[in-house]
Structure 1
Amino acid sequence: MNDVTLDTDGHVAVIEMHAPPANFFSRDTLAAIADAGERATTDGARAIVLCSEGRHFCAGARLADDTGTLDPRTAAAAVYEQATRILRLEIPVVAAVQGAAVGGGLGLACAADFRVSGPRARFEANFSRLGFHCGFALSLTLPRITGQTRAEQMLYTGRALRGQEAYDAGLADRYTEEGQERTEALALAHEIAAAAPMAVRSMRTTMRAALLDALAPALTRELDEQARLWRTEDAATGIAASLERREPVFRNR
């Protein structure tokens, strides 16, 4: 099975990631999502459901790309090029979020227009616990979703928001029982698809204009800061602690 598949349900396109249980993504995964979204739009889809197979929506990025590039800045730049394509898709996207949406996975969820989640959802901007700057345009998208102060709290502490708390914070637009995330996301996508498609796309262009205008400089800033901080002892400490499932002790160097 391909890592990313595209199916249709009436005027709704269903794009699914198949790398369970964690659904880590690479540059090529995001490129496949963007390709599928662009193809679906050309073929007449009016909305997209973005979902994944298995226990978790997406637990983050696999930065070493499929060609074997090991330099993290080069790999991250390639990832952000594809993230930009996803953010620039021309029709609304509804993400069905089950389990974890962590780090880059949170960025992917926040690239969608709407999110549907349930009691086991976990939204986590864990970058500060790893010792480096956030990415995937979360410096733009997260404040638009939760408000500035809530976004700053998530980014600065790295604390996960789960279940009802995540819904109350605005990270999910619809809250459903466990196992029904995709069904509810499809229901919302079909509501959108039943509206006048030219009007929806026109209004969406207006509503996302400021986000898209700010996208390139924000991603450049995120990438520059990530590259700088990846070289620090704190980043090495945070990453090692995460892999070893223990609390990091940072030394500010």
Structure 2
Amino acid sequence: MSVVVEDGVGLLEMQRPPANHFDEQLIGEIVDAAFELDADPRCRALVLASQGKHFCAGADFGDGGAFAGDRVAVADRLYRRAVQLFEVKTPIIAAVQGSAVGGGLGLACAADFRVADAATRFVANFARLGFHQGFALSVTLPDIVGRQVAADMLLTGRRVTGEEAHRIGLADRLTEPGGQREAALAWARSIAAAAPLAVRSIRATLRADLAERVRAALDHELAEQKWLWATRDAQEGITASLERRNPVFSGE
């Protein structure tokens, strides 16, 4: 991951193209960089971006991926780092290209705002994989799009286009093709131009008890994931995803 500060804005770029799958290390790097920039008077806003075709495809469940072993232990460590994202004091804008899938959607929703284009896809695909949502989407997604829309996305696992995401409030701004990063940087610079103490105070009020709600949600999500990962449906869902075919679930 790279970190660049310019014009009052810190650009945090994930560098695991094309899919930018995350693990505990990457989430930790993002958190540590954000905390460091919290203390840097040169930085008044953050942009979270990534190299490659997709913003973030979430966890890698394939052979050799971080989640291929003891998923519960890995997820527990990752979630302990992820909750710290919600304790960052500096406003964050996510520049979302390609797809934000599963935990990648959760990472995008940890930001204050999301910028997308029409080709962007937002996917809460957990039910299609056979297990419970994670990365605090139980809290963040309903907060952003409302309970009914969140329920639709989570229960169906369907893809939401950039245009629909903008319409429902999941994408705060919609740009011309490929314009996410520049639009996010411009937006961040406008935040950086405001009074920094006031910005942090206002943001803290708006986010209030979010970190505490996220921490409780992550505990619950992991408990649900633990038993669901042991089911035949989860095995089928993950295998089908890796084989790029439709899953056939048995309810076992």
Q: Normalized against structure 1, the TM-score is what? A: 0.95
CA distance in 2, matches of 1:200, 1:171: 22
User: What is residue 98 of structure 2 aligned with on the other side?
Assistant: 99
> CA–CA distance in 2 between the matches of 1:66 and 1:248?
21
Structure 1 equivalent of residue 219 of structure 2:
220
- Give 1:70 deviation, angstroms: 2.1
In the TM superposition, residue 67 of structure 1 has moved relative to its aligned partner by: 8.8
Which residue type is aligned with residue 34 of structure 1? V
Q: Could you tell me how far 1:119 is from its partner in structure 2?
A: 1.4
Per-residue CA distance 1:168-212 (angstroms, 9 max, x = gap): 121111100111100000011111111111111111111111322
Q: Which runs of 5+ in 1 are unaligned?
A: none
Q: Judge conservation of contact 2:19–2:57 (CA < 8 Å) in 1.
A: yes
Q: Which residue number corresponds to residue 37 of structure 1? A: 34
1:235 to 1:69, Cα distance in 2 relative to 1, 3 A: closer
1:186 corresponds to 2:201:
no
| Aligned positions of 1:15-164 closer than 5 A | 15-44=12-41, 45-62=43-60, 70-164=69-163
Matches of 1:77 and 1:26 in 2, distance apart? 11
Post-superposition offset of 1:38 = 0.8
- Judge conservation of contact 1:116–1:184 (CA < 8 Å) in 2: yes
Structure 2 counterpart of 1:43, one-letter code = D
In structure 2, list runs of 5 or more residues that go unmatched: none
Whether the aligned pair in 1 keeps the contact of 2:67 and 2:74 (CA below 8 Å) is no
Return the alpha-carbon distance in structure 2 between the equivalents of residues 99 and 169 of structure 1: 18
**What are the Cα deviations for residues 118-177 of structure 1, in whole angstroms up to 9, with x where unaligned?**
011000000000000000000000011111100000000000101211111211111001
The amino acid of 1:117's aligned partner reads A
TM-score, scaled to structure 2: 0.96
1:38-67 Cα offsets, whole Å, 9 max, x none, are 111111211100000111100111369999
Task: Give the aligned CA root-mean-square deviation in angstroms.
Answer: 1.6
Letter in 2 for 1:141: T
Aligned to 2:6: 9
Give aligned pairs, total.
250
Conserved 8 A contact 1:65-1:75 = no
Is 1:205 paired with 2:204?
A: yes
Asked if 2 retains the 8 angstrom alpha-carbon contact of 1:57 and 1:99, the reply is yes
Residues 182 and 127 from structure 1, CA distance in 2 versus in 1: closer, same or farther, beyond 3 angstroms?
same
Asked whether the equivalents of residues 113 and 171 of structure 2 are also in contact (C-alpha less than 8 Å), the reply is: yes
Q: Report the Cα distance in structure 2 between the residues aligned to 1:247 and 1:128, rounded to whole angstroms.
A: 12
**How many percent of aligned residue pairs carry the same amino acid?**
52
